[in-house]
Amino acid sequence: MNAPHSHILHVHSASAVHRQLPYSVRFEWGLNGANVVAPGADLAVVVDVLSFTTCVSVALDRGAEVFPYPWKDATAEDFAAHHDAQLAGPRNGGGLSLSPASLRAAETLERVVLPSPNGSTIAHALASEVPLVAAVSLRNAGATAAWVAATLPAEAVVAIVAAGERWPDESIRPCVEDQIGAGAFIAGLVAAGKGGYEAEQGVHGYSPEALAAKAVFDAAEPRLLEMLRDCSSGRELVGEGYADDVGIAAELDGSSAVALLRDGVFRRLA
């Protein structure tokens, strides 16, 4: 059996046992993880701290709307034109890009198509699979958690997906910044009192995977900027001249913008 086919079989066979079905708050990694834990959820939360979901929060703070779109899709330019939106490019292309600093500094910002290989691609894929999709970063983790606890039913299932990064062979690289961001959101749920179904109803609250992410955030919070700056992804960005992006990503609860995906676009919750 060749390796790619074996991998596909593994994903499908693992899905039944790895869906974290006893739990109302679940946590997994990447698009494959999203496809496992998100089906049947009431809300999917995508976390891509460096930098898609941080970009979304910055754009929404400026009153803009953000269209997620798959990475390196040749139709992105036509899609942006159809929606009368600006098309953001990669950081090294200059201008409007996946750099949160570029969105904050843009002279005008109204409608943005923001492709990315991880967070944007996952959000775009989940749009047709889950009733609600939220973009969460450290900047809006607390606000989004408070909205979930205040708005959704106690029994609502929340599937949190850390986007991760990519190795050169395109396999997922779990990265600490996204685990910290997911943990910040989960800590916010706990603080806001979300507990899920009672035990007698057959559903528990937080999966061990979700609690582990919260523990990572709890450990990182006292030196959050240092953790983001010194982790592998942060050092990569700083080395490429994007230290400001890391600083923006570390603005814990700096935004009250709850970013919900509706009709294919992230808008700030009114």
Residues of the chain with pLDDT under 50: 1-12, 197-202
The whole-angstrom separation of Cα 71 and Cα 107 is: 25
Give the tens place of pLDDT for each residue, 21-76: 889 999 999 999 999 999 999 999 999 999 999 999 999 999 999 999 998 888 99
pLDDT for res 135: 98
Question: What is the pTM (predicted TM-score) of this model?
Answer: 0.91
Q: What pLDDT, on the 0 to 100 scale, is given for residue 206? A: 94
Beta strands in the chain (DSSP E): 23-29, 43-47, 65-69, 86-87, 111-115, 132-136, 158-162, 165-166, 172-173, 204-206, 259-262, 265-268
pLDDT of residue 91: 87
- Predicted confidence at residue 196, as pLDDT, reads 52
* pLDDT for the residue numbered 15: 58
Any bridge partners for residue 173, and if so which?
A: 165
Cβ neighbours, 10 Å, residue 270? 4
Q: Three-class SS of residue 7?
A: helix
Please calculate the CA angle 26-27-33 and round it to the nearest 5 degrees.
Answer: 110
Work out the angle between the directed axes of helices 232-239 and 176-192 (0-180°, nearest 10): 120
Strand partners, 26: 159
Q: In this predicted structure, what is the pLDDT of residue 200?
A: 43
pLDDT score at 3: 39
Closest CA to 67 of 57, 79, 58: 79
| Residue indicated by tokens 């910055």 | 58
239 sits in the region (left: phi over 0; alpha: psi -120 to 50; else beta) called alpha
Task: Give residue 63's pLDDT.
Answer: 96
Cα–Cα distance, 93 to 48 (Å, whole number)? 20
Residue range 22-266, CATH number: 3.90.1560.10
At residue 67, what are phi and psi to the nearest 5 degrees? Answer: -95, 115
pLDDT number for residue 6: 35
